[in-house]
């Protein structure tokens, strides 16, 4: 299983920190290219590999940690998705006013799914501030709830494995309570 994070800002760095902490290899890409990631790679260590966006988009699981408005441009040159997984961490927000974007009644993840035909789309990590995501330690008494929702009809069996491996000792449950409704993972 290969992983990539597209976006190396607050959320991308927080997630890369968790990959590093759990000794899982991940590619990280941003809009400025691999050379700009030298500091991050140096700080987080051997599991974190700088990549181009195009390289990152070939991974089995691609985490989108870019502004919502950048999603179409980010995924434009992706190879066929063929059921590979996109994890959508974006929030469809107008940041200046901090109000939801008008999506004409569509769910933001449905909009994202429209840009990645053939991908299985999981909405995750968007409800947690980057600082919280980055800070979750292994083996803690604290519980952090991470809501996620998937577009696939039977969402969890495969994806269950990857958040589990991200912070396995503390993942208490990742149940898809009622099919399409939000699920709760307790990290
Ligand atoms: N910050 C939070 O606490 C938080 C919490 C939940 C959800 N979110 C959501 O997570 C997403 C990322 O937020 P953030 O705070 O991490 O933003 P950020 O710090 O501004 O980082 C955005 C990243 O996206 C990259 N990027 C932008 N356009 C790109 C493109 N076309 N191709 C490749 N990379 C591109 C940027 O590349 P460069 O580095 O090269 O500029 C940057 O690394 C947003 O949708 C936000 O709503 C954020």
The owner of tokens 């992706």 is 78
pLDDT digits (tens, 9 = 90+) for 117-176: 999 998 898 988 999 888 866 555 556 666 666 665 544 444 444 444 343 333 323 333
pTM (predicted TM-score): 0.84
Q: What distance in angstroms lies between residue 178's CA and the mean position of ligand 1's atoms?
A: 31
How high is the pLDDT of residue 15?
95
Q: Is 30 in the pocket of ligand 1 (CB under 6 A)?
A: yes
Top mutation candidate among 18, 28, 31 for ligand 1, by most atoms within 8 Å of CB: 31
- CA atoms 56, 62, 66, 72: torsion sign: positive
Domains of the chain in sequence order: 3-136 (3.40.50.720)
Q: How far is the CA of 176 from the centre of ligand 1 (A)?
A: 27
pLDDT band at 76 (very low <50, low <70, confident <90, very high): very high
Spatial CA neighbour of 60 closest among 76, 82, 44? 82
pLDDT tens-digit readout, 114-133: 999 999 998 898 988 999 88
pLDDT, residue 142, reads 59
Q: Which residue has the tokens 């909405």?
A: 123
């Amino acid at each position: 299983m290969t992983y990539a994070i597209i976006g190396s800002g607050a959320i991308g760095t927080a997630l890369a920190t968790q990959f590093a902490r759990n000794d899982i290899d991940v590619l990280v890409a941003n809009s400025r290219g691999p050379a700009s990631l030298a500091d991050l790679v140096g700080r987080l260590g051997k599991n974190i590999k700088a990549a181009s966006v195009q390289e990152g988009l070939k991974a089995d699981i691609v985490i989108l940690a870019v502004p919502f408005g950048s999603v179409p441009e980010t995924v434009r040159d992706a190879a066929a998705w063929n059921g590979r997984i996109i994890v959508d961490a974006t929030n469809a927000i107008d940041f200046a006013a901090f109000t939801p974007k008008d999506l004409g009644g569509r769910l933001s993840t449905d909009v994202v799914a429209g840009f990645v035909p053939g991908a299985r789309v999981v909405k995750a990590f968007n409800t947690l501030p980057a600082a919280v995501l980055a800070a979750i330690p292994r083996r803690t008494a604290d519980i952090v709830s991470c809501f996620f929702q998937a577009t696939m009809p039977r969402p969890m069996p495969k994806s269950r494995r990857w958040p589990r491996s991200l912070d396995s000792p503390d993942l208490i449950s990742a149940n898809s309570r009622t099919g399409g409704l939000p699920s709760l993972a307790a990290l």
